[in-house]
Structure formats: structure tokens, C-alpha cells
Amino acid sequence: MSVLTKVFVLILTVLSIALSMLTIGTMARQENFRQSAAAWKAEAAAAVAQSDAVSANAQLEQQRALARLEDNQAELTRLRSDINDFRIKLANADQKIASATNQLNNEQAQATSLAEHNKLLETARTREQELVAKLSERNSRLTRENIDLNDRVKELTANMAMAQSRVRALKEQLGGGMGEAYGAAPVRQIPGGSAIVQSYTPSASTPIGLSDITAPIRGEVTAVRGDLAEISVGSADGVGHGMRFLLYRRTGGAPKYVGTLRVTAVEANVAAGVIEQSDGDISVGDAARDQASFAMGG
């Protein structure tokens, strides 16, 4: 066999091998293409199914979104309505606040005016109280003066009666002669008293004059038995039979007249007599002063 034949055979062999490989490759490619096509179809079906699912989900989500949008729009509409209501309420509240502020200002102005008026009333009340106090003091003073004047009238009346009695006694003495003496006065027992007091009777040798009644004699009531009373002064103090003592009670204001005592029995340091006049209850501790010295301003 020649070289050319061998070369030709070699070429044929190589070509056969190449063709076989080409055929095998082509067939392999076709098989791969079929598998790929099947896979692509499966993927395409899956993609279509997934796309349908996504589309369905998208539609559902869109419907939900639309529903939410409608709800949001309704909520927005409601919120806008609430905002308008709130604005109206706010405007009303502002009006009420303005009205309340005006009312408060008016009330404060009224309170200020009332406070000033109260100050004026308080000043006027203070002045009235001062005037009432002055009038009350003046009334009390006038009342005391009236009481004192009434007591003085009583004292002067009693003193006048006593002076008239003494004038009659002096006339009798002058008519009967200076040498005639009075008889001894009887002894008198004070009911409830602890001692017998010897009555004191003036004699012709001891005539009664104005000088005997000007010196004030002061004491106090030491005992009271019915219409009889005992005082703490006696003959040692100038007390004599028939003298009258004014009885009064010391109080915070003017002394209060309670009665008149006529002496009927006297000792050195004590005297007793009959209560001729009374203007209230006479009790132990009431003050006593001879009527004659008081009437003479002593």
C-alpha cells in the first residue's frame, strides 16, 4: 500500500472519527436541548404559576390596599370632621374664656369697690362706735350724776327734816330754859345683837350746832337684823343719838345708795339704829356716812 493510500486511509479514518464525534456531539446537543427545553418548560410553567400567584397576590394586596385606602380616606374624613368640631369647640372655649375673663375683671373691680366701701363702712362704724362709747360714757356719767342728785335730794330732804326737828328742839330748849336737862334715855336691846347699847341723848349743856355736823363720819355696816342695822362707828367717832347715816354700796362706777339709818343706840365704837329708807337689800360691808356732813358738802 502506498503512502498516498495510507494518507488517504488516515484522512478517512480521521474524518470518520471527526464525523462520529460530530454526530455524537450533535445528538448529545439535541438531547441536551430536549432536556433543557423540558426544564425550560417546567421553569416557564413554574414561572407562569408563580407569576399567576404573584399576580393574584398583587390583586389581593391591591384590593386590600384599596380597602385600606378607603378606610384611611373615611378615617381622614372623620378626623377632618373632628378637627372642625374641635375648632368650633375651641372657638367656643375661647369665647367662654374671654367672657369669664371679662366677668373676672368685673368681679375684681366690684371686689375692689366693695373693699373700699367696706373700708368706708368700717371707718364709719369705728366713728359710730366711738360716738356710742362717748354717748354711753356720757349717759353713765349723767346716770351717776342723776343718782347722786337724787341721793342728794333725799339727803337734803332728810337733812331739812332733821334741821326742822332740831330747830323745834332748840326752840323748846330756849323756851324751857337753859338749866333744864333732858332725862336719861332708856337702854335699848338690838335684836340679835351681842350687847346692850346705851342711848345717847343730848342735854342743854351740849347744844347742837352746825359745827357738829360738818365733820364727815364714815364706817360700814357690821350687822343687819330686819329693819335694824349696826355700823362700825360710835360715840368716840362723834356719833350721837338721832343721827342719820347714808348707806351705800361701792361698785365699779358711782356708789349705789341702798338706804338711810337713824341711830337709836350708841356705844364708844359701835352704833345701831333703825333703817328708815331702803333702796335695795342692805348687807354687811355696805359703807355708811353721816347725812349731815354729806348735806353740808363735807
pLDDT higher than threshold 90 for residue 144: no
Query: Which is more confident, 287 or 36?
Result: 287
Residue with cell 341721793: 151
Please work out, in degrees rounded to the nearest 5, the angle formed at the alpha carbon of residue 159 by the alpha carbons of 174 and 153: 155
Least confident of 68-72, 125-129, 161-165, 177-181: 177-181
Model confidence at 1, in pLDDT bands (50, 70, 90)? Answer: low
| Distance between CA atoms of residues 169 and 214, nearest Å | 19
| Distance between CA atoms of residues 30 and 141, nearest Å | 152
pLDDT higher than threshold 60 for residue 51: yes
Q: How many CA atoms lie within 13 A of 230 on its CB side?
A: 20
Residue range 134-144: mean pLDDT, rounded:
74
> Grid coordinates representing 233?
362707828
Q: What is the mean pLDDT of the chain?
A: 77
Among 151, 138, 139, 135, residue whose Cα is nearest residue 255: 151
Q: What is the 3-state secondary structure (H, E, C) of the chain?
A: CCHHHHHHHHHHHHHHHHHHHHHHHHHHHHHHHHHHHHHHHHHHHHHHHHHHHHHHHHHHHHHHHHHHHHHHHHHHHHHHHHHHHHHHHHHHHHHHHHHHHHHHHHHHHHHHHHHHHHHHHHHHHHHHHHHHHHHHHHHHHHHHHHHHHHHHHHHHHHHHHHHHHHHHHHHHHHHHCCCCCCCCCCEEECCCCCCEEECCCCCCCCCCCHHHCCCCCEEEEEEEECCEEEECCCHHHCCCCCCEEEEEECCCCCCEEEEEEEEEEECCCCEEEEEEEECCCCCCCCEEEEHHHHHCCC
Query: Which is more confident, 175 or 17?
Result: 17
pTM score of the predicted model: 0.33
Terminal-to-terminal C-alpha distance of the chain: 205
| Distance between CA atoms of residues 69 and 74, nearest Å | 8
Tell me which range, 150-154, 188-192, 237-241, is most confidently predicted by mean pLDDT. 237-241
pLDDT higher than threshold 70 for residue 205: no
Residue range 67-79: mean pLDDT, rounded:
91
Question: What is the b/e burial string over 257-280, where b = at least 16 CB atoms within 10 angstroms of the residue's CB?
Answer: bbbbbbbbbbbeebbbbebeeebe
Residue range 146-155: mean pLDDT, rounded:
69
Model confidence at 155, in pLDDT bands (50, 70, 90)? Answer: low
